[in-house]
Amino acid sequence: GIDGRELVGRLWDIPASEVTARRLLEAIDVLGAVAAGDEPVEWFAPAFEVSAACVSYLRTEPALPVDLVETPMATELRASYRALNARFRTALAEHLPPVGRVP
């Protein structure tokens, strides 16, 4: 029979997926450095773009068990994306009026 890792290798391009996840993680790290030094408004657009790219990736990533992939970058990406999303929401809430209330 075929083992799990071999089957995964036949069905998905895991190395390419890992490269994409690693690039997204690097982009999140860069955003963190930018956000730490700038006014949050300065990183809204890049944060939105990186968030959209993360969501797009995570919606199509196969979410395989850790024992079937050598380096589960997607797991790390999910955690980093959640932290970015929380920071982004907080920054937006501080700079935008509440929904339904226009100044």
pTM of the model: 0.80
Alpha helices (H) in the chain, listed in sequence order: 4-11, 14-37, 44-60, 73-95
Check residue 12 and report its DSSP letter.
Answer: -
SS3 for 63? coil
pLDDT for the residue numbered 100 = 66
Q: How far is CA 21 from the centre of its chain?
A: 8
CA distances from 83 to 29, 78, 89, 92, 100 (A): 11, 9, 10, 14, 27
What is the pLDDT tens value at each position of the chain, 103 positions in all? 888 888 988 999 988 998 999 999 999 998 877 666 656 677 888 889 999 999 999 998 888 888 887 777 888 999 999 999 988 888 888 877 776 655 5
pLDDT for the residue numbered 24 = 96
pLDDT for the residue numbered 5 = 86
SS3 for 40? helix
